[in-house]
Structure 1
């Protein structure tokens, strides 16, 4: 048996340089989006708790759109159903890119973030149900609220407190959040579809198939693709399935690898990456911040109102699910994978580092607010409690993650320096240019 055979596998081992640099670029864009998201949420909170709160409600409830197509919707609904479809389109592109051409095409690498995402859904859902089950009729409908991780919000916090976090852990958080979003859209489609109309649902498959055929032929013409995407979204909305599902389905039709006629996989970025570059700024800079602005506004009513909201067992279940359930689920699933595969943490890391990142997974904002609206109805009293709970739980998770990750900054700084040294000045840090077996890491 060779030394390579005897060597145990490593969790959170350093990725290839190409994948690391690509992920770093994504993180920078999502960080800016996270900052805009926070600004939008803060503006909504300030406005909805000011003497002009009624005007905020009027803006959110303002209706626009063609009534003949059943699209006479409020601005808040347009943000939740329309703008978030762009967000899920980008998430779908990233997920497909990871599993088709990224490092996660290796099942051994994919197992950790996928298992962690599943654990991060099951445990908080169970905790919520245990706490909120006796909170009255309909309370159990909110079981999925604490299961989602907000990519932009979590990465904005990571940019502040985890600047020197090892690249493998940063990638783990991003991939975990993307898989988490896919699970969330499946949950929305399956569990939050009240009235299903089969006709429009089947009809949506026609423009979706034409869109898929065109992108498979590498057609990029916006005047062809955007109308097909809009028709797919409209029919999905009409079917009763949440319209954001259309975004993920459209993304999954887009090819990741360039065709042989165009030079094959080594000829540059494929169509999925091209679309991702085009739409990620719109998603991070417009779609998510506007949704946050139109959804986060809730009249708290001071300390007394905050206390009243948090005594609701639904709100308590959400807070505990986010702050405790998410990190416990992520940590437990990651530990089980390590035990099953007999893999050790990469050199220099320990489980405290994984806990810090897992706590960032408890920052549930965008999708959590969306599921809360679907579960209890936009503008209802319980929807207000959900908003308070999501904001509180996300803030607590962010503070706890900050405390842990800040405590490990000195170690992270050393790892960061190692990952940026480029003695031969070829643009690729030395640590990525060779593995222990001498093979290039590009």
Structure 2
């Protein structure tokens, strides 16, 4: 069932992005009276799952879900239709249109991708608002469990002050991404500030360590369930520990440290059960465990118990517009920084480039519209940016040659464009093989 949910989200998101991207080419082409021969979701190598001709255009669904396309008459594209290009230009063909019209047609797809991302972020701000913990409210610092973060010198209880000189205002889902994109982080430890430098190859190092959140808010020690072999059957689900061995505790990391010191001992404890303080006697195992599965509390429960003040912002539709636009801008520039790291050999970030399997694995195994739209928005930005790369066979390659034509007044020959398209196609295949090869390699290594 989990696979079905993940696959459904993956295909729905991918289909939506492809259709809207191709519509971005299709609509201006039709407006400029350019013939569109085919409009396809997925590739129809040898055969189609579905196709129907309406007017001059064949609409269809291919069997290979690696993208989609529109075939525009008189355009040198991946179809490499040399027979058509050998004939005299026709008024309805792409090559017969003014350069500025061809430029608009080629920029249509990425324009739609960027607009879609901003619309999604605006819609999410309006529908879901913004829930976070203000960084200033993390009086006891954050919880550090990630092996690499510990290796870099971070400790549980550290207070994060700034990333590359920019003050951290709130703890939210973007904090991990912002950390790996930073060069230095200002923290406060035991009342003193210090700087921790982030290595250039942090992304590559992260891949070699156990995957866990880089930074999370410190959480109380709550029992989710008691294991069958546990010697502490007097514990119950949802028990919240207030003290262990006479020492008051507030967070799970404090409890773990006390249990480590009391291996193979019987200790006294106090738990909060049904909002009442309940004394209890516990046996600690040889490995410092109690035989329970730790659990988590809902954000509202944490707030009710006085752990954190949760800030929730709701936005009117008018207010959600600037909020969504800023979110889209941050994500767009953030992805630009990621690409910069990927193309910098020193970061070794290229090793983490993934293909379709990596995208599939981004989606959760349970359905959440908020998560779905959030992932779709960032994928839309990624699709737009990648298509703008000046590689022949991508929209950016066509745009590069069109800009040359507009500036110089000279149109590249069809032969040159055909050769460039072939080179670009080879480069594109190489990139796809590299990205998806990384997925296969990671799967084998795991």
Select the structure with the greater relative contact order (CA < 8 A; seq sep ≥ 6): 1
**TM-score band (shorter)?**
under 0.3
TM-score w.r.t. the length of structure 1 is 0.25
Pick the structure with more helix per residue. Answer: 1
TM-score w.r.t. the length of structure 2 is 0.25
